[in-house]
Chains A and B, each alone.
Chain A
Amino acid sequence: MSNLNEATIYLNHGAGGRDFDQLLREIILPALGNPILNQTADGAILPTVKGRLVMATDSHVVSPRIFPGGSLGKLAFCGTVNDLAMMGAKPLYLTLGMIIEEGFQVSELEFHLQEIATLSKEFNIPIVAGDTKVVERGNGDGLFLSTTGLGHIEKESLQNKQEIQQGDVIMINGTIGDHGVAILSARENLDFKTTLKSDCAALHELTQSLWNECEGVKVMRDPTRGGVAAALNELAHGAQAVFNIEEEKLPIAKPVASICELMGLDPLELANEGKFLTIVKEENAQQVLKLMKQHPLGEEARVIGTVQSENKTRSQVLCETILGGSRIISWPSGHQLPRIC
């Protein structure tokens, strides 16, 4: 058999036969192996899980696949872990589906698997099942990864979440737009240099401490694609409420603000991969904020606004501008387009 480490992926690697077996034993299992995955069965029989089960799934197609502060592999792990975290769940297991384009470098595949493996070991969230397909050259953008996660909620009170009410406080755990700008800076055709890195991170330890140790945490949402603007609008729409955000309080790193000025982009619409919004009962807000700030991923946590009314007939995200004027934060319709002039 050929030496896989210097090779590229070809169609047979996705065909379930001997070549796939070589890929599994020489590349996949050395990175991700654990007692369940090592059985290489069709599925994973898991130990009994207490409490309420929670599942989430995410697919990742980011380009470029490696960028300052992160990678496709890291995103695939953190994305699904964070979705579970937002639901109040403790992530337990992940599955990994890979669609690889014929000709993809094995060394890069190893890189992404190693990124996943490192996080998997750090947080003890094993990859218990997976799938690999290979598509013909031209039919896939290098590598697509899809992860599904299983978690659980043990605390009874979290299973019936409280309704959002007037006076509730809206918070975020840190600066916005970092991931979006890091991706832009890694694209060859946009020539600017920045030391800014993606904020890609697994949030579950921080969120679990808030869900379990604090009262009054009503909902969490991670502002990924579409940014804080999309996440706030989704939350407002879901609750049929009107939010009021104070622009002055939005935490935006200087490089992000500068690049957005230059390119005519709105930091509110840029993706974040290590941030979450949370809506908290007013009387518990200070305690939640204090606890967030004690964690490395929440050091720059801030209150950014309040729930103005639970109108029940319309939803809107209002924004008090820095100058004291008023505008709305619209629900982004799609990709942000750099402005002409």
Chain B
Amino acid sequence: MKYIEEFQTKEAVLPLLQQLEEEVNPHKKYRFMEFCGGHTHSLFKSGLIDLLPEQIEMVHGPGCPVCVLPSFPISNVIELMENDSSIMLSTYADLMRVPTEEGDSLLKAKSRGLSIFPIYSPLEALNVAKENPEKKMIFLAIGFETTIPATVAILDQVIKEKISNFFIYCNHLNTTLALESILTSEGGKKLDGLVGPGHVSLVTGSDFFKDHADRFQKPIVISGFTPYDLAKSILLLVEQVNKGEAQVEVEYSRAVTREGNTSSQKLMNQYLELREIFEWRGLGELKKSAFKLKKQYQDFDAKVVFDLKTMEVFDHPQCLCPKVLMGEANPLDCKLYGKACTPHSPYGPCMVSSEGACSAYFAAGKSHE
């Protein structure tokens, strides 16, 4: 498969856009949400967002794990490390620039000398832990189901190898509840369909979304991330809407199956369970929406071992991220966007993360002018 040539060129994509023009009902408006931040990013980076028929409006969803995570886990670990120099932290690089309520960040804390390791894979974190047996490594685990397999695989390895200085600060989120929250909201009811998250589905399987499609009667097309994938998925959504269908369809068939990655799911079920309640940025408090380590693994649970507290979610009063995340506002509706709030000096998470809607808009050069 020639991944780049076959999926990212004019020759591959423009015929799909032509089909889309022919398929849309010129007198109808189609409102689709792309749930995943990676899809938002791709729509803007490729310029596809500007080439869709005018009847199609894309609403940007909350599938950006950095965007919806409250900042208190970051504040917690910084405070912990400032009081105990034997503690090291590793996490995904996206989290490094997220501003805390105090105006701090992991990047700033690193420059003050705290042992913070931005990593690409938790295996790197484990290697650092092994090289420093006298220290304690906390892995700040974030992400939707996409990144849960990496966390549980590393926990499995830690337990099997009897490593005693590696802990997981689990802040993984459940896509189902986020989706539920969107589809039951006022904005969600106005959606005609969803571009479903490609890499979450890789883990969960596409059948995971069947219940949502049935209950809310909205078509969901699981999409890959290239412009070809997105154009094709939007075309499939338009076709379903025109026929009055509400099916789960897999456009990303080269990666996604109906049942998903069952060995990952087995490990997930073995090590994790759902928290009763968790407050999201933007979506508010959702029941059973976030994961934690099961009680029998509490020796590896950083939250338990280091007594890390849950705190109220902080948002700058003028920051519109909560509404942007719900698809109820557009980045351009925010007074701070592009002026006080830029990727260089972000106020809210939608601008910090490269998957965030505000960051995508800014990178595309969209402005109030």
Looking at B4-12, B18-26, B54-62, the stretch in contact with chain A turns out to be: B4-12
State which of B4, B9, B93, B363 has its C-beta within 8 Å of the C-beta of A261: B4
Let me know if A333 and B344 touch, CB within 8 A: yes
- With A333-B343, A337-B93, A340-B147 in contact, is A322–B10 under 8 Å at CB? yes
A263 within 8 A of B: yes
| Interface mask (A129-166 → B, CB under 8 Å = 1, otherwise 0) | 00000000000000000000000000000000000000
Check: A338 CB closer than 8 A to any chain B CB. yes
Q: Is the CB of B118 within 8 A of A337?
A: yes
Determine if B48 and A189 form an interchain contact, defined as CB atoms under 8 angstroms apart. no
Q: Select A341's contact among B47, B97, B147, beta carbons within 8 Å.
A: B147
B14, A323: Cβ atoms closer than 8 Å = yes
Which residue in chain B gives the minimum CB-CB distance to A325?
A: B47
Q: Using CB atoms, name the residue of chain B closest to A331.
A: B344
A316 at the interface (CB under 8 A from B): yes
Would you give the 0/1 interface string for A233-263, flagging 1 where the beta carbon is closer than 8 Å to chain B? 0000000000000001000001001100101
Q: Which residues of B contact A337 (CB under 8 A)?
A: 93-94, 96-97, 118, 354
Asked if A258 contacts B354 (CB within 8 A), the reply is no
Binds A, one of B38-46, B70-78, B273-281, B302-310: B38-46
Known: A189-B124, A258-B3, A340-B66. A325 touches B48 (CB 8 A): yes
From A190, A263, A321, B47 is in contact (CB under 8 Å) with A321
| Minimum C-beta distance from A249 to chain B (A) | 13
Chain B contacts of A248 at CB under 8 A? 10
Residue of A nearest to B226 (CB): A261
Known: A189-B119, A321-B46, A322-B10. A327 touches B94 (CB 8 A): no
A326 and B362 contacting across the interface, CB-CB below 8 Å: no
* Neighbour of B9 across the interface among A258, A322, A328, A339, CB < 8 A: A322
CB contacts (< 8 Å) of A320 on chain B: these are 47
**Residue of A316, A318, A328, A339 ringed by the most chain B CB atoms within 10 A:** A339
Residues 297 to 355 of chain B near chain A (Cβ within 8 Å): 343-344, 354-355
> With A and B bound together, what is the CA distance between A328 and B93 in angstroms?
23
A40 interfacial contact with B, CB 8 Å = no
Among A293-341, those with CB < 8 Å from B are 316, 318, 320-328, 330, 333, 337-341
CA distance A190 to B66 in the complex (A): 22
Q: Chain A residues near B355 (CB, 8 Å)?
A: 339-341
Q: Which of A189, A328, A340 makes the CB contact (< 8 A) with B65? A: A340
CA distance in complex: A257, B226 (Å): 13
Q: Within the assembled complex, what's the spacing in Å between the Cα atoms of A256 and B147?
A: 25
The smallest C-beta distance from A197 to any residue of chain B, in angstroms, reads 21
Closest to B145 in A: A341
Name the A residues within 8 Å of B13 (CB-CB). Answer: 323
Q: Does B216 have its Cβ within 8 Å of any Cβ on chain A?
A: no
A64 within 8 A of B: no
Q: Which residues of B contact A328 (CB under 8 A)?
A: 363-365
* Bound: A279/B45 CA distance, A: 25
From residue A191, how far is it (CB to closest CB) to chain B in Å?
Answer: 9
**Which among A264, A321, A326, A328 has the greatest number of chain B C-beta atoms within 10 A?**
A321
CB distance from A71 to the nearest CB of B (A): 25
B50 on the A face (CB < 8 A): yes
Closest A residue by C-beta to B344: A333
Residues of B within 8 A of A264 (CB): 354
Judge whether A322 and B94 touch: CB under 8 Å: no
Whether A341 pairs with B46 at a CB distance below 8 angstroms is no
Is there an interface contact between A338 and B93, defined as CB atoms closer than 8 Å? Answer: yes
Quote the shortest CB–CB distance from A183 to chain B (angstroms): 14
Distance in angstroms between the alpha carbons of A288 and B224 in the assembled complex = 42
Interface contact A323-B47, CB-CB below 8 Å: yes
B49 at the interface (CB under 8 A from A): yes
Q: Which of A189, A248, A328 has the most CB of B within 10 A?
A: A189
CB-nearest residue of chain B to A257: B4
Interface contact A324-B143, CB-CB below 8 Å: no
Q: How far is the CA of A320 from the CA of B362 in the complex (A)?
A: 16
A340 touches B48 (CB 8 A): no
Check A325–B51 contact: CB distance below 8 A.
yes
Most-contacted residue by chain B among A261, A263, A328, A341 (CB, 10 A): A341
Max count, chain B CB within 10 A of own CB: residue among A263, A318, A340: A340
B363 A258 Cβ-Cβ under 8 A: no
B92 at the interface (CB under 8 A from A): yes
Q: Are A341 and B45 touching (Cβ within 8 A)?
A: no
Whether A263 contacts B120 in the complex (CB less than 8 A), given A323-B10, A327-B363, A339-B94, comes out as yes
How near does chain A come to B65, taking the closest CB pair, in angstroms? 7
CB distance from B132 to the nearest CB of A (A): 15
Q: By the criterion CB–CB under 8 Å, are A327 and B344 in contact?
A: no
**Which residues of chain A are within 8 angstroms of B49 by Cβ–Cβ distance?**
325
Write 26 A-B pairs (CB below 8 A) sorted by A numbering: A189-B119, A189-B120, A190-B120, A254-B4, A261-B3, A316-B365, A318-B365, A323-B227, A324-B10, A325-B47, A325-B49, A325-B50, A326-B50, A327-B44, A327-B363, A328-B363, A330-B343, A330-B362, A337-B354, A338-B120, A339-B94, A339-B354, A340-B92, A340-B147, A341-B147, A341-B199
5 nearest CB pairs, A to B = A325-B47, A328-B365, A321-B47, A337-B93, A340-B92
Told that A257-B4, A258-B3, A325-B50 touch, could you supply 14 new A-B pairs with CB distance under 8 A? A263-B120, A264-B354, A321-B46, A322-B46, A323-B48, A326-B364, A328-B363, A337-B97, A337-B118, A337-B354, A338-B120, A340-B92, A340-B355, A341-B355
